[in-house]
Amino acid sequence: MNKASRLFWPTLVTPKNAVVKQTEQLSRSQKLLTELGLVKPGSNGTYQIMPIAQRAIDKCIQLVQSNMQAAGGQKISLPVLTPAQLWKKTGRLEGDISEFYMLRDRSGKQFLMSPVNS
């Protein structure tokens, strides 16, 4: 494990009198995460987790896993891509679905990236 002083931790400081475009920063938390170097904007709507944030995530995962083991729980892995047909059956694919990542395989079956378990 690297020492905290040696971690790659870029910071972006925005001057207080700077005018930030509305499309660049959507929320205060997004602005703080970016300025503190915890995340880095990638393409539209995606972010890259920087090492210091990954370290915090790993610690949270370890905490949850140790408590689940103590309680007798088990860890499972769920698929990232799920058939769109399952979402249609439950009615969760109706309405505004612009937030979902959807794709089709070679045979034309439609899948979407599960937003709740990935």
| pLDDT higher than threshold 50 for residue 118 | no
> Which residues neighbour 65 within 8 Å (Cβ) at sequence distance 6 or greater?
75
- Helices (H), strands (E): how many in the chain? 3, 5
Containing 34, the helix (H) or strand (E) segment is helix 28-35
pLDDT tens sequence across 9-41: 666 666 677 666 655 556 888 888 888 888 888
Mean pLDDT for the chain?
81
Considering only residues 69 and 87, tell me which one the structure prediction assigns the higher pLDDT.
Answer: 69
* Model confidence, pTM: 0.58
Residue corresponding to tokens 């997004």: 30
pLDDT tens sequence across 44-62: 778 899 988 999 999 999 9
The span from the CA of 20 to the CA of 77, in Å, is: 40
